[in-house]
Chains A and B, each alone.
Chain A
Amino acid sequence: MGKVMLEVRNLKTKYITRFHEDVYAVDGVSFSIEEGKSLGIAGESGCGKSTLALSMMGYYFPPLHYISGDIIIDGTNISGLKPDDVRKTILGSEIAYIPQAAMNALNPTQKIIRFMEDVVHAHDPKKDKKSIREMAEARFAELGLPPSVLDKHAVELSGGMKQRTVIAVSTILNPKVLIADEPSSALDVTSQKMVIKMMRELMEKGYIKSMLFITHELPLLYNVTDDIMVMYAGQIVEKGSAKEMVFDPVHPYSHGLMNSILVPEEGTRGNKLTAIPGTPPNLKRPPDGCRFAERCKYATADCRYTNIPEKTFDDKRMYRCLMGVDELKEVYGRE
């Protein structure tokens, strides 16, 4: 077992709306990532996966607010730090965050090298520009990015190139954790493949120690990460290795999710797609019992009112359901 790079313990955060209502978007999430491993988060829109990514940085700005929980990066708890300290000492060097729209966040009037200088200077203000350039060129060459990109403006680059550049710039300080929230969803498939290839190289060469990857595209997640956890209504409902999660899901929600995968492979035309009717619960007033009960085919009265514990089986797998693993598998088998 490797060294734990990132550990999150019972993290709770909320949004406060314009009308001063609380929305509990992340409600008691715990997980950890070991060195050299990557973890994927899957779920529908609005399940809290992007909020979780934002909450992980320990840097909160309205309407997002921290409630409780710990975020521990390589042994250091960052959840109690002041926002300014987080910005100066954590972001970029310990943890890097790439949102979906990252490539559109580049200031069009600046050359790429300026962003590189900004990132480095935020942590080491004395470093001279020449050595930053050398460092950047070396890193770009290793990641298969032409060094000429450094002297270009963002508008001169294609979407895929921009996204790869953003990733290269944000990981220049070798962060221990990279959080990527749908980094390739806006790109065409070939650019997406290149972005993923580059991220994999970053991991293999040890520039980043661990990765949290968020996407709604399950086939992509399956190919990118070692482990997958499925989020629903602000909670994690199931966790396991990528292979187990895709081919052998346990929780009724992840079962439905995995059965909606469509890939251009022989045999998929015959597969049965699962539809899950209904909508996720309103997180202003989360239900008492199982949050998925309203939409679950197998739900009983117990499900709606009992607090559902996280259960572990097969050593490392976790799921959140009242029914037993064998019981669930039997039900799925009958269909």
Chain B
Amino acid sequence: MAVSEKAMEQKDFTNKPLCLSGRGVTKVFGMGDKKTVAVDHVDFDFHEGEFVSIVGESGSGKTTLSKMLLGLSNATEGEILFQGKPRDISNGKKKKEYWKGIQAIFQDPFSSFNTFHKIDSVLLDCINMRGGKNLSKEEKTAMMTEACSFVNLKFAELTNKYPFELSGGQMQRLMIARIFLMKPKILLADEPTSMVDACSRATILDMLLNLRDEIGMTVIFITHDIGLAYYISDTVYIMEHGKFVEYGKADEVILEPKAAYTKRLISDVPKIHEEWDLSTVDLLTEK
């Protein structure tokens, strides 16, 4: 099935079990006069197998939110629920357990890998974390080969190589192979295609959809590109200044936006079928 057909189906997820949800999640940096509220009391419900996009411009707080979802930073206020139960990541062991359930792909493939470690060790780490430490060498190699073929890479060509010997698109695919080995419940993809070329983008998007369809992963897709979010996701959350201003099914949010911010965002993005109306911006407004 091609990317388009998979993305086309607009399923209803509200009846599916909850995978990750948040109640009043807030992140404040600094204190007193220098206080900045990066994420301001947001509520969200992500369901199993749902492809969610969080769309926001730079400074909207989407990256801060993603760090909190991943458990890499603590929320100042509010609660995050994992599979319906309050998340507990108070110590290293519990964190490790949580990270078996949620994994991430980051924006910049070139800084996502430790350049001193070979590709094999990146993949072996995942097998070990999934409890495959005592597997035989052959079994491990078979698993790595399977993961690589899932992302159209040949493990035999990659073994004993370093990540920097690959192109940006290949590195990002290797990241997906890592996720395939880990098989977490949730994948958080933080702008995974913004640093790769348009030609490789389709491949990566296709693989993300495959992860959702074949493994049943929930994918949280963070992006600034509203066209991309519309194309790929079931549900879209629009974020402005640390708040969700609008959310809902992709078709509803993009084609019939209700919030003023969403409307502006959609009208300001250059399009190819509709006319890009330059008169909506006033050059004299100091911005």
Complexed CA–CA distance, A200 and B276 (Å): 13
Of B7, B167, B270, the residue contacting A222 (CB under 8 A) is B270
Beyond A265-B271, A270-B4, A275-B200, is A143–B231 a contact (Cβ under 8 Å)? no
Complexed CA–CA distance, A189 and B269 (Å): 6
Beyond A44-B198, A257-B199, A269-B7, is A264–B57 a contact (Cβ under 8 Å)? no
Interface string of A18-60 (1 = CB under 8 A from B): 0000000000000000000000000011000000000000000
**A146 and B284: CB pair below 8 A?**
yes
**A194 and B203: CB pair below 8 A?**
no
**A263 and B281: CB pair below 8 A?**
no
**A275 and B274: CB pair below 8 A?**
no
Beyond A190-B264, A194-B283, A262-B228, is A273–B271 a contact (Cβ under 8 Å)? no
Q: Which residue of A lies closest to B195 (CB)?
A: A45
**A193 and B280: CB pair below 8 A?**
yes
**B265 and A246: CB pair below 8 A?**
no
Q: Which residue of A lies closest to B269 (CB)?
A: A189
Interface string of B2-44 (1 = CB under 8 A from A): 1110011000000000000000000000000000000000000
**A279 and B264: CB pair below 8 A?**
no
Complexed CA–CA distance, A273 and B271 (Å): 16
**A196 and B198: CB pair below 8 A?**
no
User: Which residues of the partner chain B approach A267 to less than 8 Å between Cβ atoms?
Assistant: 273
**A260 and B8: CB pair below 8 A?**
no
- Interface presence of A309 (CB below 8 A): no
**B283 and A279: CB pair below 8 A?**
no
- Interface presence of B225 (CB below 8 A): yes
Within residues 106 to 153 of chain A, which ones have a CB less than 8 A from any CB in chain B? 143-146
Minimum CB–CB distance from B192 to chain A (whole Å) comes to: 14
Interface centre among B58, B170, B273 (most CB of A within 10 A): B273
User: Which residues of the partner chain A approach B230 to less than 8 Å between Cβ atoms?
Assistant: 262, 264, 268-269
Beyond A223-B276, A272-B2, A272-B4, is A262–B270 a contact (Cβ under 8 Å)? no
Beyond A189-B265, A189-B268, A261-B272, is A275–B287 a contact (Cβ under 8 Å)? no
Interface string of B254-285 (1 = CB under 8 A from A): 11000000001110111111101010111110
Interface centre among B199, B200, B278 (most CB of A within 10 A): B199
**A219 and B286: CB pair below 8 A?**
no
Interface string of B50-82 (1 = CB under 8 A from A): 000000011000000000000000000000000
Beyond A190-B264, A275-B202, is A263–B255 a contact (Cβ under 8 Å)? no
- Interface presence of A13 (CB below 8 A): no
Q: How many residues belonging to A are interface residues under a CB distance threshold of 8 Å?
A: 53
- Interface presence of B206 (CB below 8 A): yes
**B202 and A263: CB pair below 8 A?**
no
A-B contact pairs, 25 of them (CB 8 A): A145-B283, A160-B287, A188-B224, A190-B287, A193-B276, A193-B278, A197-B278, A197-B281, A219-B271, A219-B272, A220-B270, A222-B272, A223-B271, A223-B276, A260-B199, A260-B201, A260-B202, A265-B274, A266-B255, A274-B199, A275-B199, A275-B200, A275-B201, A275-B206, A276-B199
Binding site for A on B (CB under 8 A): 2-4, 7-8, 57-58, 152, 167, 169-170, 197-203, 205-206, 224-231, 250-251, 254-255, 264-266, 268-274, 276, 278, 280-284, 286-287
Binding site for B on A (CB under 8 A): 44-45, 143-146, 158, 160-161, 164, 188-194, 196-198, 200-201, 216-220, 222-224, 246-247, 256-257, 260-277, 279
